[in-house]
Amino acid sequence: MHRITVVGGGFAGLTAAITAAEAGAKVTLYEAHHTLGGRARTAEGPYRTNEGPHALYSGGPHWTWLTQRDLIGPLAPVPLLEGSRLRLHLDGALRRVPPLALLKLGRRKPEHTPVDTDFLTWATAHVGEAGARAAANYTAVALFHHDPGSLSAAFVHERLRRAAKLPPEAHYPRGGWANVIDRMAARAWNLGVRMETLARVDTLPTDTPVIVATSLDAARRLIGDPSLTWDSGRTTLIDLAVRTRRGDAFAVSDLDAPGWIERFTAQDRTLAPHGQQLIQGQIPISPAESKADGVARAERLLDLGFPGWRERAVWRRESVAHGRTGAVDRPGTTWRDRPAVDRGDGVYLAGDQVAAPGVLSEVSFNSAITAATLALAAGRGSTPAARPSTSTTPIDLNHA
Ligand SMILES: Cc1cc2nc3c(=O)[nH]c(=O)nc-3n(C[C@H](O)[C@H](O)[C@H](O)COP(=O)(O)OP(=O)(O)OC[C@H]3O[C@@H](n4cnc5c(N)ncnc54)[C@H](O)[C@@H]3O)c2cc1C
């Protein structure tokens, strides 16, 4: 039986650990935080918030993999009436019907969408500039960037197609993503994975293949490789609990500028106390904008979709997610150009800014499967033994 070390106990780390353990490896996973889950954690307490609005897309490879292992658990479907309360903010007003341009672009086959051209230029040639801008802003729901139109047309088009699909791909684990993480942790446990929490790794082990399943920023520091960088978004997050009012919007998608606000209790009553609604929003901001700019835009959307929300508000929290919302690809680049999974010497990267296909957490999932497969092959071969072992205690753990 060969041994594999996984650093990081988020979605990627757990996926890698389960994959390696299913193949018979003896896996040890180290997580710096006191709970597993990383960005897929759900807050404890009366308001069960994820870190920003989170949906599990059913068109991705993780969906099949999780389903096969019964790891998704109960879902919270959006009731039809609530679904009909999706509003689109266009030309300063809320509307129910999406612009034709958005539907047209969403239906276009992806094969001929160029990588080298920016989305706005490409889409304008097909539907005109106003429609192209609205479609670009709509994709912010799945790419969290302040200027989606400036990114690679192929990259943005894939997200537009996924986010505009009917029936919708977005699904919601009841009780938040933590329930999926808990099921994954139980599966890992049953497979014999040793999981240590409050165990920050400062030095990579040299006697086993190691999968670094942290954020790319943390991996850069851990591996000591300054080339480990890739673009990501910066977005203001707003979490809000309000007293219930009939007729509130289910979600407001901003088509005048990137932004998304969603009332998660519309589909899952367990997320807030009785009589209250939990609303989460994300407003991407440019490098020149502040959190306050994002909050101000969020409040304008709230005014339109949730009348009287200020008087009804019982709890609220704001933050900025910087580089935490996955990779974005500029014109001329694809996921293949991102930092490679195989770093040499038995070290493998997994995460959502790594060279793997997919949308958001699907990149973490796909890279984790690749990393585990390579680590298993390395464990059977000679690569890790060839790495110099400089310490008798290869992992330096700071137990916080
Ligand atoms: C606002 C927001 C909204 C999102 N919405 C969606 C969505 O709707 N759908 C979707 O699919 N995805 C969404 N995502 C993306 C998704 O959350 C991430 O892609 C996914 O959770 C990343 O998982 P990961 O395991 O790669 O990284 P992480 O979750 O960051 O896990 C890395 C783990 O490594 C640990 N760690 C770091 N350094 C060390 C160390 N030195 N030693 C030990 N442990 C360490 C960290 O504590 C962390 O637990 C969203 C993200 C954000 C921020």
**Dist. CA 143–CA 307, nearest whole Å:** 28
Ligand 1 atom nearest to 12, measured from its CA? 25
Ligand 1 atom nearest to 219, measured from its CA? 38
Look at residue 388 in the predicted model and tell me its pLDDT.
Answer: 39
Nearest CA to ligand 1 atom 33: 8
**Dist. CA 374–CA 192, nearest whole Å:** 20
DSSP 346: T
Look at residue 391 in the predicted model and tell me its pLDDT.
Answer: 32
Nearest CA to ligand 1 atom 26: 351
Count of beta carbons in the 10 Å neighbourhood of residue 220? 17
Look at residue 53 in the predicted model and tell me its pLDDT.
Answer: 81
Mean pLDDT by 10 residues, the chain (400 residues): 94 98 98 97 94 91 97 96 97 96 95 97 98 98 97 98 94 96 98 98 96 98 97 98 97 98 97 98 97 98 98 98 97 98 97 98 98 91 43 33
DSSP 130-185: HHHHHHHHHTHHHH--S-GGGSBHHHHHHHHHHHT-SS--EE-BTT-THHHHHHHH
DSSP 118: B
Residues in a beta bridge with 27 = 4
User: Mutation test of ligand 1: which of 29, 35, 54 has the most ligand atoms closer than 8 Å to its C-beta?
Assistant: 54
Bond before 167 cis per omega within 30 degrees:
yes
pLDDT in tens, 329-361: 999 999 999 999 999 999 999 999 999 999 999
User: Mutation test of ligand 1: which of 360, 370, 396, 398 has the most ligand atoms closer than 8 Å to its C-beta?
Assistant: 360
Structure tokens at 300: 């304008």
CA distances to 30, 130, 280, 393 from 96, rounded to whole Å, are 47, 18, 20, 61
**Dist. CA 310–CA 240, nearest whole Å:** 10
Look at residue 381 in the predicted model and tell me its pLDDT.
Answer: 57
User: Mutation test of ligand 1: which of 15, 56, 212, 214 has the most ligand atoms closer than 8 Å to its C-beta?
Assistant: 214
**Dist. CA 249–CA 166, nearest whole Å:** 19
Contact present, 278 and 48 (Cβ < 8 Å): yes
**Dist. CA 211–CA 29, nearest whole Å:** 9
Instruction: Using the mean position of ligand 1's atoms as its centre, give its distance from the Cα of residue 159 in Å.
Output: 19
Look at residue 383 in the predicted model and tell me its pLDDT.
Answer: 45
Instruction: Using the mean position of ligand 1's atoms as its centre, give its distance from the Cα of residue 189 in Å.
Output: 20
Look at residue 93 in the predicted model and tell me its pLDDT.
Answer: 97
Instruction: Using the mean position of ligand 1's atoms as its centre, give its distance from the Cα of residue 253 in Å.
Output: 24
Nearest CA to ligand 1 atom 48: 38
Instruction: Using the mean position of ligand 1's atoms as its centre, give its distance from the Cα of residue 308 in Å.
Output: 34
Domains of the chain with bracketed CATH = 3-41+177-230+332-386 (3.50.50.60), 99-163 (no CATH), 232-327 (3.90.660.50)
Nearest CA to ligand 1 atom 11: 361
* CB-based pocket (< 6 A), ligand 1: 7-13, 30-33, 38-40, 51-55, 200-201, 213-215, 218, 222, 237, 282, 321, 324-326, 351-352, 360-361, 364
User: Mutation test of ligand 1: which of 42, 352, 369 has the most ligand atoms closer than 8 Å to its C-beta?
Assistant: 352
